[in-house]
Amino acid sequence: MTWTMQRAEQNLIPSVVDLVVTWLKTRPNVTAVCGTRISSTLPTDSTDIIYPWLTVQRVIGITALPEAAIDRARVQFNAWGGNKANGAPNWEPADSLIRAVELEVRTLIKANVTGKGFIMATGLLEGIQQIEDPDTGEARFWMDAIFVVKGI
């Protein structure tokens, strides 16, 4: 491998979503509520979904320092609670999950995500919001945060 190839590999900008999903799967406050049911999307087959489930997605971002492999992105967290047997939204598990995520994001200073990179900084936006999902009628809480991440 040449020096040029080594240098290019070291400057890959990490996936903010991958870093955040992996980090959240190590946080006891979050996994106590949803286990490892944390991903970038919900399963496409609704029979594969066990609630509560957390999805993480990149809303928008700007590569802050590409030469240093540093990225800054707005990330949206969706805590899904599903529906109760009578069809009503099941708010309680989604509420517990989003509050656990909010606590972790609010108290994070810096994190080494083994094999992925580093979460350098976070900042909450707007706070927790509640919505009955218009497509499914299921319980959903969501919130946004800014993440600054750095590659390995």
Boundaries of every domain in the chain: 3-150
For the CA atoms of 91, 144, 19, 10, the dihedral, rounded to the nearest 10 degrees, stands at: 170
pLDDT tens sequence across 105-152: 999 999 999 999 999 999 999 899 999 999 889 999 999 999 999 988
pLDDT tens sequence across 64-81: 777 778 999 999 999 999
Section 39-59 average pLDDT: 92
Which CATH topology does 3-150 take?
Answer: STM4215-like (3.30.2000)
Residue 85: predicted pLDDT:
94
- The answer to whether the CB of 89 falls within 8 A of the CB of 132 is yes
The whole-angstrom separation of Cα 7 and Cα 12 is: 9
Residue 65: predicted pLDDT:
72
pTM: 0.89
Residue 1: predicted pLDDT:
46
For the CA atoms of 62, 54, 121, 99, the dihedral, rounded to the nearest 10 degrees, stands at: 130
